[in-house]
Amino acid sequence: MTDQAILDDIKNTVSSHDVVLFMKGTPVFPQCGFSSVVARVLDHLGLTYHSVNVLEDDGVRQGIKEFSDWPTIPQLYVKGEFVGGCDIVKEMFETGELKAFLNDKGVLN
């Protein structure tokens, strides 16, 4: 797949789902501590989300960094908007900002 095709695929995934988590591993079997933290936060909030295991495709693993202009994984998107990685999601969760943001976006169950 070309770089542009990978970016188009990422854009389609982000726009096709209300909440998308690009992570290492899966929510049930995360393969990175940072990915695990974000998945646990989303699960704790009872959020329904789509996950993409970047370890299954190196093109996606590199492409998501270019797509967001963010160097690390995991990456959380809500309604097409890049929210951030582990530190940002964790801090937003701890301050209550994440729950308010998700409510504002209409994605909390």
pLDDT tens-digit series, residues 12-67: 999 999 999 999 999 999 999 999 999 999 999 999 999 999 999 999 999 999 99
Residues 6+ apart with CB under 8 A from 93: 41, 44, 45, 99
Buried b (16+ CB within 10 A) or exposed e, 75-94: bbbbbeebbbbbebbbebbe
Residue 109 domain flag: no
2 pLDDT more than 90: no
pLDDT band at 108 (very low <50, low <70, confident <90, very high): confident
- Residues 97 and 85: their CA atoms lie apart, in Å, by 15
Residue 108 domain flag: no
Residue 21 domain flag: yes
CATH number of the domain at 94, please: 3.40.30.10
Residue 72 domain flag: yes
Domain count, the chain: 1
User: Domain range for residue 87?
Assistant: 3-103
109 pLDDT more than 70: no
Residue 7 domain flag: yes
